[in-house]
Amino acid sequence: MEITLATLPNYLRQRPKMTRSFEQGATFRIEEIGDGNLNTVYRVSDATHTEHSIVLKHAPPYIKILGPDYPLSIERLTFEARALELYARFANDTVPTQYDFDPEAAVIAMEDLRDAHVLRDDLINGTVDTTIAEQIGRFMGAAHSRTYINNIDSATAEHYKQQFANTTMQAITADYVFTFPFTEHETNFWTPGLEPEIQRLKADTDFLEQAEHLKQIFLTAQQGITHGDLHTGSVLVQDNTAKVIDAEFAFYGPVGFDLGLYWANYLLAHFAHQDNQRVQSALKTAIGQTWQTYTTTFEMTDTELKTQTLENIFHEAVGFAGLEILRRLMGAAHVKDIENILDISQKLRAEKAALQFGITLVKQHNAFSDVAAIIAML
Ligand SMILES: Nc1ncnc2c1ncn2[C@@H]1O[C@H](COP(=O)(O)OP(=O)(O)OP(=O)(O)O)[C@@H](O)[C@H]1O
Ligand SMILES: [Mg+2]
């Protein structure tokens, strides 16, 4: 079933649980607020008591911005609902409260994070709150370690693997992060001045081997519940509090993928702010703090095993970070942080620096001893 602005009021009247905070028989005020590519997001308010509002996320059976010719399973919202439920258990204050989920219509009703802004927009504006990075580090540490394969019994592990077998979305990431950017593909684009570097990269067998190796880890490692799309556009900031949204890519996989994506997007912001030392220095602190709170929150009783586990997560995260940086420069989906730079030579300078950094992270991901070594390279 597809839900539109026109059919939504009727739909809501049949699901009173979703608007239970509203007055009985309330008239709905509805606005579309989503800025994403895949789904529609609405804010629904009680028209006479607008302080009562909810957010509805709906997955149409296709990619929203491309239209019905590009089908995509609505099951993606089931994975998001499951992840939200799980995060509420392990990191309650870092996600919006989920009020209701309708798998048939693919609708999640959740807390309206009023006046929240997207973390990426804050970073673009030069506002870097390192406590947000700390909160996200804690969030990942809790969600990963509480579902980590060595921390749970085999029945729980089987349950998670089955509940989070999100193969459709995992395949999309495999294509758009690990494969398409480094081949000839119609969705790729880049700033013309980057051409020589990009051609060199596509012929670099050492790089391609490492990228393929990381792709295999992405597709086969089963370590813990991974958000799968934790970039700075998936974090909302409300009153200095971080809230993680958009978990439709959640799967049971290599948890370092979350750290890698998150770091990569801080790194992209860092290169975008190439002439602003204050912002760059805060971003470096943020990267370090993410790891700091991650490792202290990540629980594992056997300390030796914990050290080994974190080392492995770190190395994989570094490799994933490198690939995320690169695909944002030469793949289908770029980031506003860099695309917004209007001066083309300035943009190219940021992109060249980011590209070299990304390549190094991929090729040397196992050689970095700790996060300080990465920050030192900036
Ligand atoms: N609980 C919420 N409270 C307030 N605003 C929200 C909430 N959930 C989502 N939004 C708004 O809607 C936007 C899109 O949400 P979301 O990223 O979940 O959608 P999406 O279609 O899956 O996006 P994408 O195409 O990036 O995957 C967010 O950036 C945010 O502005
Ligand atoms: Mg999404």
CATH number of residue 63's parent domain: 3.30.200.20
Final residue of a domain: which of 89, 111, 133? 111
Q: Is 112 in the pocket of ligand 1 (CB under 6 A)?
A: yes
69, pLDDT greater than 90: yes
What mean pLDDT is predicted for residues 245-271?
98
- 193 with 236, same domain? yes
Whole-angstrom CA distances from 108 to 15, 165, 240, 245, 337 are 11, 20, 25, 12, 29
Q: How far apart are CA 274 and CA 162, in angstroms?
A: 44
Which of 41, 77, 112, 172 for mutating ligand 1's site (highest number of atoms within 8 Å of CB)?
41
Each residue of 322-348: pLDDT tens digit?
Answer: 999 999 999 999 999 999 999 999 999
CA-closest residue to ligand 1 atom 19: 36
Domain extent at residue 175 = 117-376
Residue 158: CATH number of its domain: 3.90.1200.10
CA of 82 to the centre of ligand 2 (A): 14
Final residue of a domain: which of 61, 84, 111? 111
- 38 with 99, same domain? yes
CB 244 within 8 A of CB 234: yes
Give percent above pLDDT 90 in the chain: 98
CA-closest residue to ligand 1 atom 31: 34
- 181's CB contacts (< 8 A; 6+ apart) are 188, 326, 327, 330, 331, 332
Domain presence at residue 26: yes
- 161 with 57, same domain? no
Domain presence at residue 270: yes
- 187 with 86, same domain? no
- 152 with 296, same domain? yes
Rounded to 5 degrees, what are φ and ψ at 277?
-65, -35
Domain presence at residue 2: no
CA of 34 to the centre of ligand 1 (A): 5
Each residue of 167-177: pLDDT tens digit?
Answer: 999 999 999 99
Q: Is 63 in the pocket of ligand 1 (CB under 6 A)?
A: no
Q: How far apart are CA 117 and CA 295, in angstroms?
A: 27
Q: How far apart are CA 215 and CA 212, in angstroms?
A: 5
DSSP 71: B
Ligand found nearest the CA of 245: 1
CA 313 to chain CA centroid, Å, is 17
Residue 35 confidence (pLDDT)? 85
CA of 24 to the centre of ligand 1 (A): 27
Q: Is 330 in the pocket of ligand 1 (CB under 6 A)?
A: no
What mean pLDDT is predicted for residues 19-31?
95
Whole-angstrom CA distances from 67 to 43, 60, 63, 198 are 22, 9, 6, 31
- 316 with 336, same domain? yes
Residue 171 confidence (pLDDT)? 98
210, pLDDT greater than 90: yes
Final residue of a domain: which of 111, 127, 152? 111
Using pLDDT thresholds of 50, 70 and 90, give the confidence band for residue 1.
confident
- 106 with 26, same domain? yes
Give percent above pLDDT 70 in the chain: 100
- 162 with 106, same domain? no
Domain presence at residue 3: no
Residue 166 confidence (pLDDT)? 98
Residue 36 confidence (pLDDT)? 87
What tokens does 317 get?
């995260």
Each residue of 78-133: pLDDT tens digit?
Answer: 999 999 999 999 999 999 999 999 999 999 999 999 999 999 999 999 999 999 99
Q: Is 37 in the pocket of ligand 1 (CB under 6 A)?
A: yes
Ligand found nearest the CA of 249: 2
| Structural domain count of the chain | 2
- 122 with 56, same domain? no
Residue 2 confidence (pLDDT)? 86
CA of 38 to the centre of ligand 1 (A): 10
Q: How far apart are CA 298 and CA 184, in angstroms?
A: 40
What tokens does 377 get?
């390279």
Whole-angstrom CA distances from 214 to 130, 200, 364 are 29, 20, 12
CB 41 within 8 A of CB 56: yes
Domain presence at residue 1: no
Residue 321 confidence (pLDDT)? 99
